[in-house]
Amino acid sequence: MDRMKIGRFTYRFVLPAVIMVSLCSCIEPFEATFVDFESALVVEATITNEFKNQEVYLTRTFEFEADGPMPESNANVKIEDGSGNSFSFQDTGNGIYVSSEPFAAQSDNSYRLFITTADGRTYSSETATLKNAVSIDELKVERRQNDFGEDGIAILLDTNDPQGQSKYYRYTFEETFRIEAPFWSPNSLGADTRPEAVVCGVQVLQQTRDISESICYTTVPSNDIVIASTDSFEQDRLDDFMVRFINRDNYIISHRYSILVKQFVLSNEAYTFYETLQEFSGSESLFSETQPGFLVGNVASEINQAEKVLGYFDVSPVTEQRIFFNYEDFYPNEDLPPYIEPCTFTAPVLSRGLPPICVLLRLVELDLVAYVEENTNGDSNQGPFLVVPKVCGDCTSIGSSTPPEFWVE
């Protein structure tokens, strides 16, 4: 299941809060204090027609000061269908519950989600059914400018339901891209342990770095809400619908890039929920005009109807397509986007002060730098070697050196 981070603004826009504002003068800082915070269960669950171990995500809303949503642990989670079958889910940690056995939603059946938390509270969803699947006709890539005049790559798709019964769509995507460390070297630095070595000495270790550290692959799932509706169209079709726009200066498209796009068909109720959620997440101000109170989904407490529960249980067919492209396909003979981190050459001194404090050796021991070459500058205020931040010479800190099974060059 592809999940979206909905916890961040559940408190920001939805849960009740009392705001104390200090506006004593134009130059004094804004002060806001939030009291009476109410923790609510957050449910993210989309069961699909794919035969797999389905997933349900359970977390708790959190305040601005918190680092992130708290997982709801040790809950009893199950899904029951209209035929009397029950599918249990296991807590795998971090609020992720995975079905004990793989299963696929069927179009001739209905489904309900049931949750019992560790403290005995019970929740259930409304009944949901599976709509008919609609395939993605074409997934394509185009160089264009976005609405802000930025040059970049647009990921577009066409889809069509000749029966005109789908109308509401949601999209998720998973990006995979190749990273090439711009200053990889087969040599590295290490402590100089020779008898004649100076204090804080560092030496070059020849042929100690594997070439695999120079090319890596990273996969990143989307957490954006991407939805589309054809309800007001004469035909149930989308042409050149933009799922993703990537600025040309984004390093993820520097070499080879792939995107897997999934298309979900929604009910009108599910679409309305995601549309409202999208409006909340896109609001830039705490005092946005779109604050209707609490975002109601289709999951509720079985004991206390006044208890707030955020989230939606959806049963949706999914289809997918993948596409690859190279940066040079659209920007031939042009400079690559900036790397993920500035690769500035530095020449740290071996030591500083009395008694000497090791400088370069400490950076090497902490694995913070990568060797480039000897420093031939001759500046007495510099060290003997040129180095760059570790990620500039070794990409394995931000990706895997093993390409994914689906990868095609």
What sign has the CA pseudo-torsion 5, 6, 12, 17? negative
Among 178, 243, 308, smallest CA distance to 2 is for: 243
So what's the pLDDT on residue 9? 39
Tell me whether residue 299 is in a domain: yes
Range of the structural domain that residue 77 is part of: 8-131+271-316
So what's the pLDDT on residue 65? 62
What sign has the CA pseudo-torsion 357, 361, 363, 367? negative
Q: Whole-angstrom Cα distance, residue 398 to residue 386?
A: 22
Tell me whether residue 160 is in a domain: no
Tell me whether residue 124 is in a domain: yes
The stretches in the chain having pLDDT less than 50 are 7-36, 283-292
Identity of the amino acid at 283 = S
Distances (CA, A) of 306 to 40, 226, 300, 302, 309: 11, 30, 9, 10, 9
So what's the pLDDT on residue 17? 38
Helix, strand or coil, per DSSP, at residue 87: strand
β-bridge partners, 216: 179
So what's the pLDDT on residue 250? 98
The alpha carbon torsion through 274, 279, 280, 282 (nearest 10 deg) reads 120
Tell me whether residue 249 is in a domain: no
Helix, strand or coil, per DSSP, at residue 253: helix
DSSP state at residue 12: I
Tell me whether residue 164 is in a domain: no
Distances (CA, A) of 349 to 353, 360, 383: 11, 6, 4
Q: Whole-angstrom Cα distance, residue 26 to residue 292?
A: 30
Tell me whether residue 308 is in a domain: yes
Q: Whole-angstrom Cα distance, residue 48 to residue 310?
A: 20
Tell me whether residue 12 is in a domain: yes
Tell me whether residue 82 is in a domain: yes
Tally of domains in the chain: 1
Q: What predicted TM-score, i.e. pTM, was given to this entire model?
A: 0.85
So what's the pLDDT on residue 37? 52
Where does 187-305 show beta strands of DSSP type E? 188-191, 202-205, 215-221, 226-229, 237-247, 256-265, 299-301
